Structure 1
């Protein structure tokens, strides 16, 4: 195991190279907006987000080296530092804030304003960055060789590969362009439907899959195992639970239907209606139980890492004048935290009081520490942020109810607390990963920390526009934007505050999760599969199968910076961006004018969807099976 004292970064501390430049700041800001919007769209569709550090590093390197002909690895690193902050802030925001829009649609509260969304996300983003600053020395430096930081190492390898002109930028940009074109064909001019469904009348259900590049790209990045667990949950929901509900309860009237029997609901809306009224509550119970079990299982590690980080804080006051050991002043951290907490307490637009502000400080610093070290162990993509958020939401909602803050205001306060905590955990985890990449390369921590704050501010200023735009175009909770995590947070909050959650369905879902845990399966992945529509799980599974084929065929190309992974990352970004553009067109009334579906017979549309899906699979395999020498 490498000793910290013996470690030498790629760029020595004594050497000063361009790093915090106009080019890196401007490029990073653009990527923060791009990946923030793309990840927001992706998370609202499938309930999962991806780490943007590696694709941001690739694009940043493409900008600095290929386009601008500059040769500074630290500039490229700064681009990905600022750019990945947008993805992290978006991930925290979309897991929680859409719950406010869902309540507004039900008439319970007023629709959240752009200003309130901006301030909530800004508070979470800045606190996440500030809480991580005093932890850098103890977590990044003192535990070098102890915490592997797998994705940070992969990101550093990508940037180092750029030094030998092996960047993979072409794969990322190709994926972006192809996915944007597919998205425009499917959801823009609507030549083909976005999903293919085959009814299975004997089982009273259907088999379906989406053909969208982003969802298949998620499956490719996750790999075969995780994708198969998601698909297993989908099979359980759609081929066992739904047929059982129809078979055994066909003539029954069950909550929450308004007088309709299950048979009548199925006749009117098919298997999808049964999923919407019943199975999603079972899936919610499975998700809550999986999140809490995940948190409980990691509690020993959480407390150990939190204690060791606090113990290492004394070593954070590093008086070294070396460039690679300079952090932002602790005074900046303290005054910044105080200013943000006062804003949370005193600004009426945030709708949180002193109790909420105190809870945010306590939970925020705790989960910032936990998230930073968990990323060091399992990577940002596997960081259990949702479990931390559910735990925070449950505790804070109970405390708010006990203190008399109930009703609409109490629910808003609970979601506000959960939103800020979720963003803090996501931001702190991303920042620790970026600082680790910088540590390996020889970046200046102080400049990276400023870059993270810039990325958080820019993302906070833009994420509200993205959320409002998407909600106006399709609506959260719709087929296009199911917002599964936010819907879950809404159900949990309502269940605690009002006691109107159908607990019998929730407990069935929780029992399913317990069975998965007993069998040794990753219950969170299976629970997400139960909760999501089958068409999403199937598309993710297609991507996982493609990854499996590539890894068997091309064993040297299984790393996180292989052509297939970079191409899939580009597809996610490209479809997300095109989705935002189409949302703008929809809101402006242009969407209906470019809709060509009325001129094409349904049979032709289905055939076209199959052909498009086959073509997409062929393209993914073409890029994924390329050798290293192709990645230029």
Structure 2
């Protein structure tokens, strides 16, 4: 067995037996996993981006466990391990399964299918990356930036109590603003406008919520700028050029009677956002090609290590190198395949497809097998890529789009022998939903895989027991899987998602955009029903190739600024107003780092304050969703203009002014907080 180098000696010696999985750690980990799953589900549905919750979870754990008569550093690590699994699994679910509602196949989120897909995909993500731990973390140490930062935060545990104040204050402030915006309606949450030149419209706007400001700060200026660049290309170049050169009749069929920003948004929704699909698909292929050779070497190394351990006996394996036993991986994978098979059998409606038993069985068998093979492949890609660029840059969107395209095209070949999908919209919807289910399993596995290896990197630096961390990751997955369906149901009933609403008369401006899921539904429906704008998709692919070439050149020059294609792709398919606050947050992070003559440490006050803003807004959004869903109205607490003795126009101006002022206030507050030394 390869010894650990002196520079990577664990914080807790392998020869010791520290307290790790304790009752209080398990309970706290479960609670945080549920909370962070809900918060990240809300954030992902709102903006299509999620962020790593490991550091906030570590800080909260240190603060709470200290009040419960102390804790060990690896006990705190167990808490953040379970908690971070919650936020990662939420990302895998909300990127895919809401597409079934947007397709009209589901009219809500049934508990058993959603929980089963989330649970099985998440557990597979844990199992598939266990063989990679030794190769990627021990023998070929990758950066795993969030994993290293979390380890440093936990090592500096004596700062935990003070650091928790930043999360608490920011969370309360963000929660108050969200209540004023979505609850009372006294503060605007979005401001939009447009500039018209001839027949061309340029849309302008910004979200005024502070969660996205926190996202931008956490991901940094590089990624925030690229997201904004994608939005700028779509809204300031793509939409005007399309409107200038499109056939007038075709343009009218898209825009209709809409004017100004609404007209620009219609063109973006119908055509321009598909540039992001092409960019994401190419980005997913590039991610796969980038890791094929190192992944093969990693798997070989892991297999050799397992054989060596068997030859030497389990007693010779140090505590810090004990993983889930290899035979568990095979049995666990087979065990997860069974409920996935049952979900496919009961969710995919054979009677509406009108195919024979043999073809239906072949379709289901293909779905399960493809989900398992693609799940393993893309879990490996996700784990390796996040080791290079961080878990907040996990290429889940790219690999999920690639999975959806591949599975849809293969299903088209399998089922096309009996079904003319172009002539039957109902059957096209069923086939598209089957592809989404497959992608759901893969998306959950890939999302958990990146998080898993980051947590194991943290444990490796601290001297934790990998086996115990892997068990707690499964615990976090189970908790999140049980919570996610009720959370999605409440959010959908309260706000709606994309262009789908559970009842008439709901406010489209309050709808959770669910950007990835909206794309998934459009792609799958387009493959089977036709009408997919392949020209735009190919254009996005060409743009992605240009970005990849630029990124390689920057890498060779050793440049700090890089151009990862998936960040630009996210901006292309996001509404413009969501990209603006992300960019502002990134600018703040840059200014703070420049003032401090370096990058901020993983546990710095700015990062914790930004995490608090995200958590506070997201939790209030979920809490408000409950009375909204019960009353079937988002105006339960809203104050009307008449109650203030104002006209509609004057009230609208007032709320816009208050919204902009509140946003500016939080920008300055975040900057001042981030400048402070911890």
Give the TM-score normalised by the residue count of structure 2: 0.85
CA contact (8 A) 1:309 1:369 kept: no
1:219-238 to 2 correspondences below 5 Å: 219-238=216-235
Displacement of 1:313 after TM fit? 4.4
Tell me how far apart the structure 2 counterparts of residues 133 and 398 of structure 1 sit (CA, whole Å): 31
**Residue 486 of structure 1 corresponds to which residue in structure 2?**
517
**Residue 170 of structure 2 corresponds to which residue in structure 1?**
175
CA contact (8 A) 1:131 1:365 kept: yes
CA distances 1:219-246 after superposition (whole Å, capped 9, x unpaired): 1111112211221222222222222333
Tell me how far apart the structure 1 counterparts of residues 15 and 158 of structure 2 sit (CA, whole Å): 20
Tell me how far apart the structure 1 counterparts of residues 139 and 541 of structure 2 sit (CA, whole Å): 40
Task: Check if 1:269 corresponds to 2:262.
Answer: yes
Where in structure 2 are there 5+ consecutive unaligned residues? Answer: 349-362, 420-426, 500-508, 552-562
Aligned with 2:146 (options 145, 151, 168): 151
Tell me how far apart the structure 1 counterparts of residues 128 and 607 of structure 2 sit (CA, whole Å): 32
The 1:528–1:268 alpha-carbon spacing in structure 2 relative to 1, beyond 3 Å, is: closer
Aligned with 1:606 (options 644, 656, 661): 656
**Residue 456 of structure 2 corresponds to which residue in structure 1?**
435
Aligned with 2:392 (options 381, 388, 392): 381
1:33-112 to 2 correspondences below 5 Å: 33-65=34-66, 67-104=67-104, 108=105, 111-112=108-109
Tell me how far apart the structure 1 counterparts of residues 161 and 31 of structure 2 sit (CA, whole Å): 23
CA contact (8 A) 2:255 2:266 kept: no
Tell me how far apart the structure 1 counterparts of residues 318 and 261 of structure 2 sit (CA, whole Å): 70
**Residue 358 of structure 2 corresponds to which residue in structure 1?**
none
Task: Check if 1:329 corresponds to 2:350.
Answer: no
CA contact (8 A) 1:265 1:274 kept: no
Aligned with 1:543 (options 570, 577, 585): 585
Tell me how far apart the structure 2 counterparts of residues 570 and 261 of structure 1 sit (CA, whole Å): 40
Give the 3-state SS of the residue equivalent to 1:608 in structure 2: helix
The number of equivalent residue pairs is: 617
Give the 3-state SS of the residue equivalent to 1:44 in structure 2: helix
**Residue 201 of structure 1 corresponds to which residue in structure 2?**
196
**Residue 410 of structure 2 corresponds to which residue in structure 1?**
399
Displacement of 1:568 after TM fit? 0.7
Displacement of 1:627 after TM fit? 0.8
Tell me how far apart the structure 2 counterparts of residues 424 and 586 of structure 1 sit (CA, whole Å): 32
**Residue 572 of structure 1 corresponds to which residue in structure 2?**
614
Aligned with 1:425 (options 435, 446, 449): 446
Task: Check if 1:24 corresponds to 2:20.
Answer: no
CA distances 1:495-535 after superposition (whole Å, capped 9, x unpaired): 33333312233333333434444554433222222221111
Tell me how far apart the structure 2 counterparts of residues 533 and 333 of structure 1 sit (CA, whole Å): 41
Tell me how far apart the structure 2 counterparts of residues 566 and 433 of structure 1 sit (CA, whole Å): 19
Tell me how far apart the structure 2 counterparts of residues 51 and 310 of structure 1 sit (CA, whole Å): 30
**Residue 534 of structure 1 corresponds to which residue in structure 2?**
576
CA distances 1:243-288 after superposition (whole Å, capped 9, x unpaired): 233333473324xxxx647574436933223322332233433433
1:240-255 to 2 correspondences below 5 Å: 240-249=237-246, 251-254=248-251
Where in structure 1 are there 5+ consecutive unaligned residues? Answer: none
Aligned with 2:666 (options 610, 616, 620): 616
Tell me how far apart the structure 1 counterparts of residues 121 and 450 of structure 2 sit (CA, whole Å): 13
Is 203-212 or 435-444 further displaced after alignment? 203-212
Is 160-169 or 38-47 further displaced after alignment? 160-169
Displacement of 1:559 after TM fit? 2.5
Give the 3-state SS of the residue equivalent to 1:201 in structure 2: strand
CA contact (8 A) 1:266 1:273 kept: no
**Residue 272 of structure 2 corresponds to which residue in structure 1?**
279
Give the 3-state SS of the residue equivalent to 1:204 in structure 2: strand
Tell me how far apart the structure 2 counterparts of residues 528 and 132 of structure 1 sit (CA, whole Å): 26
Give the TM-score normalised by the residue count of structure 1: 0.91
Displacement of 1:554 after TM fit? 2.3
**Residue 181 of structure 2 corresponds to which residue in structure 1?**
186
CA contact (8 A) 1:250 1:263 kept: no
Displacement of 1:390 after TM fit? 2.3
CA distances 1:325-360 after superposition (whole Å, capped 9, x unpaired): 333333433322221112222453354822222222
Tell me how far apart the structure 2 counterparts of residues 13 and 97 of structure 1 sit (CA, whole Å): 42
The 1:372–1:529 alpha-carbon spacing in structure 2 relative to 1, beyond 3 Å, is: closer
CA contact (8 A) 1:137 1:315 kept: no
CA contact (8 A) 2:396 2:447 kept: yes
Give the 3-state SS of the residue equivalent to 1:371 in structure 2: helix
